[in-house]
Amino acid sequence: MVSELRCYTEPAFFEKAQHYQAVLSSRGVTLQIDVIDKLNARFLRLHPDMALCVDADGLWLCALGMKMQPDWQAEIPRLKRASLKSEMLARACNLAEKPQLIDATAGLGHDSLLMAHLGAEVTLVERHPILFSLLEDSYQRALQDPFLSKVAARIHLVFSDSADYLKAQAEAGQAVDVVYLDPMFPQRDQNQQAVKKQAQVKKQMQLLHLLLPEHGEMDLGDALLPLAQKIAKRVVVKRPRLAVYLAGQTPDHQWTGDACRFDAYFQQDATKVNG
Ligand SMILES: C[S@@+](CC[C@H](N)C(=O)[O-])C[C@H]1O[C@@H](n2cnc3c(N)ncnc32)[C@H](O)[C@@H]1O
C-alpha cells in the first residue's frame, strides 16, 4: 500500500493541504506538499504520476493527467431516480425495513449513499488510508449540500480493516440487520461482457483501480463472510454476474442483473425474502 505521496496545491490552499497532511500522517501516509502556481490541466498532464492535490473542491487523487474523487454530488440524479422497487440492491438488503447496515467494503461509498438515501442507517468501513480520506472529504462536503445532508446524516464512517471491526462487534455482542460486502474482484476473472464494461469504466472507478492492487496481493474478501454472518441477520454480497461465490459458499437467495448479482445469506431465523 502507498505510504508516501506528493501533494500538489496552490498558495491559497496551503493550510488546507497541511490539514490533510496531518490527517494522512495519523493514518500512516506521509505527504510531501509541493506548492505550485497553477494546479491546472496542463500541470496534471505534465505530472502523470499518482499524487494527491488540494484545491477549492477539497482533496483529489490525480494520476495520468486526471483528477478523481468519490463524487457524491454526481450521484444526486441517480439518487433522485432510485426507489425501493427499482433498485435490486434495495430488495437484496431489504431497505424497506430501514435496516441498521454495515458496508464493510466502503470504497467510493456510492452503494452506501444509495442505501442511506433509501432509508438505511449505514456504517461504512474502509481500510485504505487514502481512499478513506477521500471518502471522508466527500462526506464533509455532503453535509453542506442541501440534498445530500439528509442522506449523510444516516452515514457513519469508520477507518478500519473490516475483519477487525466485525470481530470487535461480535465480541461486544452488537448485532446488525445487514452486512453488505462488495470486495474487489480480479478483472481478469470476469466474463467478457463485464470486462468490456470495465473498459468504459467511469473516471471515479479508475480511482479504485489505481489505488488498489489488481495482481498478487489482492484480498478477495473471503474471510469477511463468516465474520459478517456472526453478527448480521442478512449478509449481502455484490458479485460480477458470473463470478464464483464468495468463500465458495452457496447463497440462500440471489438477485441477478445484467452485469452484477447480489448473493444473500440469511441467519436461520431470518429467512423471509422480500422482493
Ligand atoms: C469494490 S470496492 C467497493 C465499492 C463500493 N461498493 C462503492 O459503491 O464504491 C472494495 C473496497 O473495499 C475495501 N476493502 C476490501 N477489503 C476490506 C477490508 N477487509 N476492510 C475494509 N475495507 C476493505 C477496498 O479497500 C475497496 O475500497
The residue among 203 and 216 whose pLDDT is bigger is 203
Q: What is the pLDDT of residues 36-88, one digit of tens each?
A: 999 999 999 999 999 999 999 999 999 989 888 998 999 999 999 999 999 99
Q: How confident is the model at residue 164, as a pLDDT?
A: 98
Q: Binning pLDDT at 50, 70 and 90, where does residue 15 land?
A: very high
Give the residue, 170 or 209, on which the prediction is more confident: 170
Of all protein residues, whose CA lies closest to atom 27 belonging to ligand 1? 107
Q: Set out the domains of the chain in order of their start, with CATH numbers.
A: 4-68 (3.40.120), 73-266 (3.40.50.150)
CA distances from 102 to 31, 123, 137, 161, 274 (A): 30, 5, 20, 13, 19
* Residue to substitute in 126, 130, 155, 180 for testing ligand 1 pocket (most ligand atoms within 8 angstroms of CB): 126
What pLDDT, on the 0 to 100 scale, is given for residue 212?
A: 78
Task: For cell 478483472, name the residue.
Answer: 187
Determine whether the shortest distance from the Cβ of 128 to ligand 1 is under 6 A: yes
Ligand 1: nearest atom to the Cα of 162: 20
| Pair 12, 113: CB distance under 8 Å | no
User: CA Rg, the chain, in Å?
Assistant: 19
Which pLDDT does position 215 carry in this prediction? 53
For 115-155, write each residue's pLDDT tens digit.
Answer: 999 999 999 999 999 999 999 999 999 999 999 999 999 99
Which residues contribute to the annotated binding site for S-adenosyl-L-methionine? 126-127, 182
| Ligand 1 atom 13 nearest Cα | 105
Task: Report the distance separating Cα 220 and Cα 176, nearest Å.
Answer: 23
**Ligand 1 atom closest to residue 112's alpha carbon, by position in its atom list:** 8
Pairing of strands 232-240, 260-266: antiparallel
C-beta 89 within 6 A of ligand 1 = no
Residue nearest ligand 1's atom 25 by CA = 128
Q: Which amino acid makes up residue 163?
A: A
Span 216-252, pLDDT tens digits: 567 889 999 999 999 999 999 999 999 999 999 999 9
**Nearest 10 degrees: Cα torsion 94, 111, 187, 30:** -140
pLDDT of residue 268: 78
At 214 the pLDDT is 57
Helices (H) and strands (E) in the chain, counts: 11, 12
| 75 touches ligand 1 (CB under 6 Å) | no
pLDDT of 2 reads: 76
> Do 262 and 92 touch, CB atoms closer than 8 A?
yes
pLDDT tens string 145-200: 999 999 999 999 999 999 999 999 999 999 999 999 999 876 555 544 444 455 44
65 C-alpha to ligand 1 centroid (Å): 25
**CB 183 less than 6 A from any atom of ligand 1:** yes
